[in-house]
Amino acid sequence: MSKNSKKRSAAENAKAGTKADEQKMSAADTAKAVSENVLEDMLGIGADKPADPELPDEEMELEVEEDRRRLLLQGLGMLVISIALLFVALGAWAAANITGNVVLLIVLIFDLTAVWFVCKGMGKRFNRYASRVHVVDFGRRNVLLYLKSDPKKAQVVAYKDIKNYKLIRQGGSLRLLLAGNWVTHPSGYQLVDINRPFMKDSLDGLAAQIKDVMREHRVNERN
């Protein structure tokens, strides 16, 4: 074999090795991205992201807090359910391996899907409990909607951008509906669910306070 052939062969081997390394790195990056997305969806854990815009620094007129006992109990209940579903999945997998029954594999798939949804809901509740995030805050100029468990990601809405609002009392919850051009829901209203099963006695007074704040900022209530 000539020297030129050896050089070409070495160059081709080097290129092949480089491509293999690139494929491994690409696969590793993909796996990392997928795992980070799953963890972020289920438990709120993710990679560092660009900083969110700072919230306006203003004095709050009314702060509506979560029912922390509800968050804790719901999170613990979902934890128990997820553990039970995992045992069901383990049993279905073992039985499918022994019997070869395809139906058990279908049960396994649906069971793991249910585990994912339950864990996602559990993570949201535990995150809201740990971060002590509020439901909604009424400031001097803006309303802050804490739709996510991270208080830094609150949606800021100026009073002048709220066309009207509506309060609906349903058992242990108070539903605040806000209308405006900023709303993306097809109904035209943004729902703020103030769910307080263990603080029912506070809802009537809270509704009166919200009406007072809205009246002061000239936001009309829809009947």
pLDDT tens digit at each of 223 positions of the chain: 555 554 455 545 555 455 544 444 444 454 445 445 544 554 444 444 555 556 777 789 999 999 999 999 999 999 999 999 999 999 999 998 888 888 888 999 999 999 999 999 999 999 999 989 999 999 999 999 999 888 888 999 999 999 999 999 998 999 999 999 999 999 999 999 999 999 999 999 999 999 999 999 999 998 7
14 Cβ neighbours under 8 A, 6+ residues apart: none
Owning domain of residue 214:
136-221
Enter the tokens of residue 56: 């306006």
In this structure, is residue 55 part of a structural domain? Answer: no
Look at residue 50 and give its three-state secondary structure: coil
Other beta carbons within 10 Å of 104 = 17
Of 144, 121, 130, 140, residue with least CA distance to 64 = 144
Angle formed at CA 49 by CA 45 and CA 54, multiple of 5 degrees: 110
Enter the tokens of residue 67: 């029912």
Look at residue 172 and give its three-state secondary structure: coil
Tell me, yes or no, whether 183 and 159 share the same domain. Answer: yes
Tell me, yes or no, whether 146 and 87 share the same domain. Answer: no
| pTM score of the predicted model | 0.68
Enter the tokens of residue 21: 């390394």
Tell me, yes or no, whether 123 and 200 share the same domain. Answer: no
Domain count, the chain: 2
Tell me, yes or no, whether 101 and 143 share the same domain. Answer: no
Tell me, yes or no, whether 147 and 98 share the same domain. Answer: no
**Structural domain ending residue among the three candidates 131, 158, 178:** 131
Distance CA 91, CA 69 (A): 33
**Structural domain ending residue among the three candidates 81, 103, 131:** 131
